[in-house]
């Protein structure tokens, strides 16, 4: 698929769901992709990308930004507290806020620097032991904790279990966001972004459908 195929599918899914046109942000997930594929998408004018690792992002994005100008970068993968400062410098949005210690570190950095990336709290909707994210029962408490620290929490993020019907997880995430007064929903990947849009996704994270299979 090309970038314009994906944006056309997003437009269509918004219409089908009676959503405001343009209310879904497309994050092009460029992790582990050859640089020339990323460059091709930059050449087409897209300026919103997602990466999984701070180190990998630090290796490619400063140079792309020198050449192409401002790019909105989203961190999608787990963040270690010792990489938080570097993440602050590189990313406009962090989707993987998942524990009190990280919230405290981000709040301290925000105090120090007078700014903070926008944040999504990652929720482990499938309660999978190997997966990051707060458990559904802990979401309300953790949202309150982050808000008490004055962190800019936009919404919730999830990665549904691979073998389950994603709609159940999207519906659950939407319900938890609504009851906490949060407008942002980061959900939907290459295989299910249209479904996610029908459940109110504000940010879809699409990698292989745009760039092809990863190395
Ligand atoms: C890799 C990744 C994606 C993109 O996955 P695709 O299936 O290639 O679209 C989205 N979200 C997260 C958190 C990822 O790690």
Residue 1 pLDDT greater than 90, yes or no: no
Q: Of all residues in the chain, what percent are helix, strand and coil, respectively (each to 5)?
A: 45, 15, 35
Question: Measured from the CA of 189, which atom of ligand 1 is nearest?
Answer: 9
Instruction: Take atom 6 of ligand 1 and give the residue whose Cα is closest.
Output: 207
Q: How close is the Cα of 112 to the center of ligand 1, in Å? A: 32
Name the pTM for this structure.
0.98
Instruction: Give residue 111 CA to ligand 1 midpoint distance, Å.
Output: 31
pLDDT number for residue 56: 98
| Digit-coded pLDDT (tens) for 127-184 | 999 999 999 999 999 999 999 999 999 999 999 999 999 999 999 999 999 999 999 9
Q: Which residues contact 153 (CB under 8 A, 6 or more apart)?
A: 97, 119, 120, 121, 143, 146, 147, 182
The domains of the chain, with CATH numbers, are 3-211 (3.20.20.10)
- Structural tokens at position 69: 């100008």
What average pLDDT score do residues 35-51 get?
Answer: 98
57-69 pLDDT, tens digit each: 999 999 999 999 9
Is 190 touching ligand 1 by the criterion CB < 6 Å?
yes
């Amino acid at each position: 698929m090309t970038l314009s195929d994906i944006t056309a599918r997003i437009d269509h899914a918004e219409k089908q769901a009676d959503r405001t046109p343009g209310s879904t942000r497309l994050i092009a997930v460029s992790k582990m992709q050859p640089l020339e594929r990323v460059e091709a998408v930059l050449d087409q004018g897209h300026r919103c990308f997602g990466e999984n690792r701070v180190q990998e992002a630090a290796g490619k994005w400063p140079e792309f930004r020198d050449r192409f100008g401002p790019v909105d970068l989203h961190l999608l993968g787990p963040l270690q507290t010792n990489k938080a400062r570097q993440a602050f410098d590189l990313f406009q949005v962090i989707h993987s806020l998942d524990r009190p210690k990280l919230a405290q570190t981000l709040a301290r950095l925000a105090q120090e620097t007078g700014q903070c990336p926008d944040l999504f709290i990652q929720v482990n909707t499938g309660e999978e032991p190997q997966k990051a994210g707060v458990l559904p029962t802990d979401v309300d408490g953790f949202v309150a904790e982050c808000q008490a620290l004055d962190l800019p929490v936009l919404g919730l993020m999830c990665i549904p279990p691979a073998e389950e019907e994603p709609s159940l997880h999207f519906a659950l995430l939407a319900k938890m966001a609504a009851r906490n007064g949060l407008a942002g929903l980061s959900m939907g990947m290459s295989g299910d972004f249209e479904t996610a849009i029908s459940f109110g996704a504000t940010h879809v994270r699409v990698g292989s459908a745009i760039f092809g299979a990863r190395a």
